Amino acid sequence: MKKFIKGVFKKTIYKSDRGYIIGLFKVKDTNSEELKDYINKSLTFTGYFHELNEEEKYTFYGEGVEHPKYGFQFSVTEYEKSKPEDKEGLVEFLSSDLFPGIGEKIAESIVDVLGLDALNKILEDPAILNLVPKLTSKKMELIYNNLLKYNESSAIIIYLTELGFSMKDAMNIYNFYKKITKDIIESNIYSILDNIEEIAFTKVDEIALKEGINLDDKNRVKATIIYIMKNLIYSNGDTYLEYGDIIKNVELYLKTELNTSYFDDCLFELEKDNKIIKYNEHYYLSSIWKSEDYVANKIVKLSLMEPKNYPKLDNKLLNLEKELNIVYNDKQKEAIKKALTNSISIITGGPGTGKTTIIKAIVELYTELNKLSYENAMKEIALLAPTGRASKRMTESTNLQASTIHRFLKWNKETNKFAVDEFNPDKSKFIIIDEMSMLDISLLDSLFKGLTNNIQVVLVGDYNQLPSVGPGQVLKDLIESEVIDTVHLDLLYRQDENSYINTLAIEIKNNDLAETFMETKSDYTFLECSSSMIKESLKKICKQIIDKGYDYKKLQLMAPMYHGENGIDNLNKELQNIFNPSSNDKDELVVGDVIFRENDKILQLVNMPEENVFNGDIGIIKRIVYSNISKSKKNEIHVDFDGNIVKYTPKDFNKFKHGYIISIHKSQGSEFDIVVLPVCNNYRRMLYRKLIYTAVTRAKRKLIIIGEPQAFVYAVNNDNEYIRKTSLLDRINNILYNK
């Protein structure tokens, strides 16, 4: 038996943009013994709601739960508006905000004429309202239509929740399909996945199977194909898939062997519906196909534009060298000139080769050559990077405000769309994008669509680093296309002549590791230990670093894996006790099985452009505010991201984790004074050259490797990283050839 409470919705305490509500409910009746004591009292409730109106009567279905911080609450899984059962209730209902323009007098008249069964009578035959004196046809129509909507929305949302959808999902489905919701669900439940991104395929499939759908139903197979293609593309970074990979993985999911012709029919129908694209025996998700196609055409168009001519460029560059007391080498000068004259150019090189210095020179010269004031330079030049830390470095080196790409494009987290697009482009004329290796094909597509046609673009990055998390290997493909003027920087500048870090990076990149790699240098140490001793060795070296007075905020540990004894999750707990042990003068908060305390180092996991904090940013917990004293009446965690204070409430606590040790992937776009890197055979399946190269190149002043030399050598020699299936390079060549 479903537990329910009947009563009046009194007050909203909190409401999210997606309909999650915490509120107060005056209980009038219940069928639950544990809730009897709350009759005629207010009870806190939580759940997702399509709409709730204060002082209206509702029936909530769900369970009573004991929250560790907020006490007893009623967690709502389903709800419906309570239909009035007496004259007073009916009059109140008909004169409510649901029926604008219907006052108490008209409502009383309706009840007097039609009786206590007035609502059902109106729904059965709206013409019965003609019996009510002085009721206009306009008001009759309003009463019937709004009553119909009221019944319809409540009934449909209840229907969806009874199928197994959460209240949140049910609301999203109803808000999109309205009165045809039930027809859509019954005809092809999988079709909702085309329009509502938030709903998981696995949930829809679970409900469909429960409702008795055939295992090989065509709609199910087609939806599974799309699901599998998305999984493979986003897990491997491919932009297309082979036929064999698709059918093999679809059959594994369905746990059944499919007739080939039947499977081919499903693929063909998906092609007809423009959900997938088949080209040269390769299968693309339509969105990825369009992204690659747009980027390829944009690249070719930019590469064929006439270069700009600045007659005084050489003199200006010479003057800048004198002004900054810098002597640029020939390749650096070439990179600067090509960036300023070409519509698109690439500058690539490893750490310490002067990429940041060159960006500063490009900005300075562009401003001078175009006679721009600082204010106008800010309008014309856009400095972009995929991460907050990388954009901050650009700001510091150029004195111009840099931005993440998501912030530049004005990303809306609720709609997952960019406000800056082909219909509303940015007005910048000169764009520099740093850390290009991190950009996937979809993000570059969105960026190009948000730029004007007369744009100049400079792409800066190190193609030897890890490729993007999302599909594509954009920087690598663009360099190999050879259609964009590219300058490869190779001379080292960042560290002094006694530095070994960059030397090691070059050796790793070239797969030419010197036999002396274990020898201690001024900025480099290799501490040998077994896999079983990694944890203790890390704790020991971290204690030594602290004892020497180093700021732990400038130290970063990183590893290739999250799970296991030497995984990131386990090591973070150990390192917290070293860097930030519990004490009476530091507040802390338990979230699940994790303790967060003041002065903790944390890692942001998702983009929050509205707060100017992004995936991969590292901050420090400055304050924990408990619910009994916070303005929001909820526990709060305040995090300092380089001077930007972000306040998190419980709904956002899953958006960050401890950052004492982070993944190498998450370190991209960042640099740290000291890097400590464990390398052992436990990580063997994750060890390969680009991963180690990326980790090593994050260190600016000191690199400490702890672990097994044979594992490190294996990683350097292992070039067997997954080769991504992409077609950007081929598309560019095809466009040029066809022209």
Write the pLDDT tens digit of every residue in 275-325.
Answer: 999 999 999 999 999 999 999 999 999 999 999 999 989 999 999 999 989
Q: What's this model's pTM, rounded to 2 decimal places?
A: 0.76
Decide: 129 and 143 in contact? Cβ < 8 Å. Answer: yes
- pLDDT averaged over every residue in the chain: 89
List, for residues 142-156, the tens digit of each pLDDT value: 888 888 877 777 778
pLDDT for res 369 = 94
pLDDT for res 498 = 63
Rounded-to-integer distance, Cα 445 and Cα 453, Å: 14
- Whether residue 180 is predicted with pLDDT greater than 70 in this model: the reply is yes
Mean pLDDT of 627-648: 87
Enclosing H/E stretch for 547: helix 534-547
- Whether residue 172 is predicted with pLDDT greater than 90 in this model: the reply is no
- Alpha helices by DSSP H, listed for 178-312, are 181-188, 201-210, 218-236, 243-254, 260-272, 286-303
Mean pLDDT of 682-706: 91
Percent of the chain with pLDDT over 90: 58
Mean pLDDT comparison of 117-121, 194-198, 369-373, highest-scoring range: 369-373
Give the closest residue to 147 by CA, choosing from 87, 104, 107, 183: 107
- Whether residue 493 is predicted with pLDDT greater than 80 in this model: the reply is no
Looking at the DSSP bridge assignments, the partners of residue 78 are 61
Q: Is 519 exposed, middle or buried (CB count within 10 Å of its CB: 0-12, 13-18, 19+)?
A: exposed
- Whether residue 456 is predicted with pLDDT greater than 70 in this model: the reply is yes
Decide: 731 and 384 in contact? Cβ < 8 Å. Answer: no
List, for residues 91-131, the tens digit of each pLDDT value: 877 887 668 888 888 989 998 999 888 888 888 898 999 99
- Whether residue 496 is predicted with pLDDT greater than 60 in this model: the reply is no
Range name among 155-159, 185-189, 225-229, 318-322 with the lowest pLDDT average = 155-159
> Which of 671 and 18 is assigned the larger pLDDT?
671
> Which of 472 and 53 is assigned the larger pLDDT?
472
79 SS3 class:
strand
List, for residues 33-80, the tens digit of each pLDDT value: 888 889 998 899 998 886 777 777 888 988 888 776 667 899 988 887
Q: How far is CA 359 from CA 199, 332, 486, in A?
A: 43, 10, 15
* Residue 642 pLDDT class (50, 70, 90 cuts): confident
pLDDT for res 88 = 77
CA dihedral 363, 365, 368, 370 (to 10 degrees): -80
Mean pLDDT of 492-516: 81
Dig out the tokens for 71 from the structure.
């006490």
Pairing of strands 402-404, 381-385: parallel
Mean pLDDT of 613-633: 86
> Which of 491 and 689 is assigned the larger pLDDT?
689
Looking at the DSSP bridge assignments, the partners of residue 672 are 699
